[in-house]
Structure 1
Amino acid sequence: MKRNSVLFGAATMLAAISCLSATPLPQTAVGTDKNVLVSNEDLQVLAGGGLGGTLDGFSTYFWCVDYEHLTALDNPYTANVVALGNWTAEEKNQVQKGNNTNWGLASPDLSVLQRYQVAAYLLSQMSTYQTLTPQTGSVRTADENLQLSLWKVLNQGTPTAVSPSPYNMAPLDAAVSYVQSNPTYGFGAWAVVSGISSGGELTQTARQTFLVALAPVPEPAAYALIGLGLGAVAFIGRKKA
Structure 2
Amino acid sequence: MAAAALAVTVLYPVPAIAAPGDLFGPSGTTVVTPERMNQFAGSFDTGRGSREFTDRLGAPADGGTGALELRTPGDDDKVQFVTGELAGSLERFRDSSYHALRDPASEAGAFPSFQIAIDANGGELEPRDLHLLTFVPPEGPAGVWTRYDLGSARWCTTQQIGRVDPYRECRDGGARRSLDEIADAHPGVSVYAAGVNQGAGNASLVGAVDLIRVGDRTYDFEPSTTP
- The TM-score normalised by the length of structure 1 is 0.29
Max Rg structure: 1
The structure richer in strand per residue is 2
The structure richer in helix per residue is 1
